[in-house]
Chains A and B, each alone.
Chain A
Amino acid sequence: MAGIIGYGAYIPRNRIKVEEIAKVWGADAPSYKKGLMLREKSVPSPDQDVITMSVEATRSALTRCGIDAKKIGAVYIGSESHPYAVKPSGTVVAEAIGATPDCHCVDFEFACKAGSEAMFVCMGLVDAGAIEYGLAIGADTSQGAPGDALEYSAAAGAAAYIIGKDDGVAKMLATHSFMTDTPDFWRREYMHYPRHAGRFTGEPAYFKHVTGCANALLEKTNSKPSDYAYAVFHQPNGKFPMRVGKMLGFTKEQIEPGWLAPTLGNTYSGSSPMGLTATLDVAKPGDKIFMVSYGSGAGSDGFVFEVTDALPKMREKAPFTRTLLDENKVYIDYGTYTKYRGKIRKGE
């Protein structure tokens, strides 16, 4: 049975507050803060992108587990903001960590669930005996159109998982995927910003797929919410994961350790995988963790993990996700933010 052998996260240090965005667009900051349960979000520096964040998250994962990167047989990065339209992100990451050349590599894309897809596929390949270790990354430097509701949440971050056949720090006990064709959020070729269907992104999209996947996984594993120490759901904002958790019968206490969105924003493909890193930072041996991602388009991947005795000692070797989130941050104004995100049209 496959397990998580090592994990790591990366968050850029820049933050922008909801008030700073709202004041530019004449929006009401308190209602956004309350409505989305968001206070601030991370912003990448101009020299940071999906590839750089993936390399750093992976280096933390490798530091934690200490395996030889040459044994990694698959490198999969899930993202909707790969720096190149044509040229894999994974080749750069694989080369930087020293996993080349005997390695399979693909970039995944499925809106916000591309990172959990990578985990799902690595788990399958490990269980099938095709690879010894697989590297699964969820990373994004998401963009929301200026003035759009998404601009308050679209953030940057990465989570990396090394998955292998040993139990590692958390056994992967079960998984389930649930998906339909639901056009709630999309970006056409050559378009700079994504479009979304407003409230349609809620009930028929996020809530239907997360609950559909979660209920099927609970049934498959013959378990109930109270059997789990922690639960992690995709976090497009602060509100949705708490609400879906309540709908399913999970408590606030189960969700809170991995609930990063209020001060991180939505890191898209990195979102639920990063929530899982923060949960692994605090979990105890024997704890069971329930995780369900969500990607527009639309679908969810669900996982059940069980923490092993190896976790507490190993996790100390790299920075905790909450430390990356809460310490060493700098606040930027909207002008700096637009410059960093390439939103300003310059002279030829």
Chain B
Amino acid sequence: MSTSARYWREIPQRYRYEGAKCKGCGEISFPPRIVCKSCGGREFDTVELAKQGKLLTHTVIRVGPSQFADQTPYAVGVAELDDGVRLTAQIADVDFDELKVGMPVKLEFRKVRDEGEAGIICYGYKFVPVR
């Protein structure tokens, strides 16, 4: 089954990194939430996430889920962006022995996966090291 509709719904986050900043307490939710998890506020401004941050943790996936099997081995990490938001993403353009907690990374627009040769191509963000 095609995931076109689900993919399309997530475009603001996957393409433009849009989060929701709570008008009450300033907490940024990514992806956006209906109720702020910190103060319960229900009004938000749309903000773009910071494009750079530091790696908090990382791992290397050697046996991936079927949709990512062709990409193994690949690195995945959690980074804290400069605005405090924590984000999980693949880490591209990296030699695995380069991976280090605290390593500066930036967000780059990449192909995340596709639905086979005839399906849609899903784009989004990945981390790449800041060199």
Q: Which residues of A contact B (CB under 8 A)?
A: 13, 45-49, 51-52, 55-56, 59, 83-84, 92, 95-98, 327-328
B115-131: CB near A (< 8 Å → 1, else 0) gives 00000010100100001
Q: Is B16 a contact partner of A98 (Cβ separation < 8 A)? A: yes
Q: Which residues of B contact A (CB under 8 A)?
A: 11, 15-16, 70-71, 92-93, 108-112, 121, 123, 126, 131
Tell me the smallest distance from the CB of A341 to a CB of chain B, in Å.
13
| A13-B93, A45-B93 given; 19 more Cβ-contact pairs under 8 Å | A45-B92, A46-B71, A46-B111, A47-B110, A47-B111, A47-B126, A49-B111, A49-B121, A51-B121, A52-B109, A52-B110, A56-B108, A83-B121, A96-B16, A96-B109, A96-B123, A97-B16, A98-B16, A327-B131
Assembled-state Cα–Cα distance A302/B99 (Å):
46
Partner of A92, one of B15, B93, B110, B126: B15
In the complex, residue of chain B having the shortest beta-carbon distance to the beta carbon of A63: B51
Assembled-state Cα–Cα distance A327/B16 (Å):
27
What are the residues of chain A within 8 A of B108 when measuring CB–CB?
52, 56
Assembled-state Cα–Cα distance A84/B115 (Å):
13
Q: Is A328 a contact partner of B16 (Cβ separation < 8 A)? A: no
Q: Is B11 a contact partner of A95 (Cβ separation < 8 A)? A: yes
Tell me the smallest distance from the CB of A327 to a CB of chain B, in Å.
8
What are the residues of chain A within 8 A of B112 when measuring CB–CB?
47
Partner of B92, one of A47, A55, A59: A47
Assuming A45-B92, A95-B15, is B131 touching A51 (CB within 8 A)? no
Q: Is A48 a contact partner of B111 (Cβ separation < 8 A)? A: yes
Assembled-state Cα–Cα distance A97/B48 (Å):
11
In the complex, residue of chain A having the shortest beta-carbon distance to the beta carbon of B18: A98
What are the residues of chain A within 8 A of B71 when measuring CB–CB?
46-47
In the complex, residue of chain B having the shortest beta-carbon distance to the beta carbon of A51: B123
Tell me the smallest distance from the CB of B84 to a CB of chain A, in Å.
22
Assembled-state Cα–Cα distance A167/B114 (Å):
42
List 17 A-B pairs, Cβ < 8 Å: A13-B93, A45-B93, A46-B70, A46-B71, A47-B110, A48-B110, A49-B121, A51-B111, A56-B108, A56-B109, A83-B121, A92-B123, A95-B11, A95-B16, A96-B109, A96-B123, A328-B131
